[in-house]
Amino acid sequence: MKKLILMGRSEAGKTTLTQVLRGEDIRYDKTQYIKFENTLIDTPGEYAQTHHLGRALALYSYEADMVGLLISATEEYSLFPPCVTCMVNREVIGIVTKAEQEGANPARAENWLRLSGCNKVFIVDSVTGFGINELITYLNQA
């Protein structure tokens, strides 16, 4: 599997997705620092939400083969500006999380990720397992 760094705002589902991709049981675990474990790099949402911490994400992206931008399907706005993926010289994929939660709008989140520059977008729900196999297959072949 290619090494993937996950970026998104707090509560976007980065840590839960990381746990599922590793085959672990889901448990709440607030990410306080950038965690390197095997092929996944989990980042705190505050790094994406705070301008001066965002520079650290740019630097850590060089440790990965691929960047995953996450937006929850329950979000009311996108954290990522249009065409932001051109700032990274790695493949950037979009990941819509919480797709099957009540009030979710995965199509809107997918559109935001495409506007950000993601050509490949996965729609997943870590709790139900929806879309996880498609993402794993892609990560193993990419």
- Give pLDDT tens digits for 115-129: 999 999 999 999 999
If one counts every other C-beta atom within 10 angstroms of the C-beta of residue 10, the result is 14
Residue 45: inside a domain: yes
Residue 109: inside a domain: no
Record the pTM: 0.90
Residue 103: inside a domain: no
**Are the CB atoms for 117 and 92 separated by under 8 Å?**
yes
* Average pLDDT value for residue range 70-80: 95
| 72: phi then psi, degrees, rounded to nearest 5 | -70, 140
Domain holding 55, by residue range, is 4-97+121-141
Residue 83: inside a domain: yes
Residue 104: inside a domain: no
Residue 13: inside a domain: yes
Please give the structure tokens belonging to residue 20.
């599922």
Number of structural domains the chain divides into: 1
Residue 116: inside a domain: no
* Higher pLDDT among residues 95 and 63, named by residue: 95
The CATH number of residue 53's host domain is 3.40.50.300
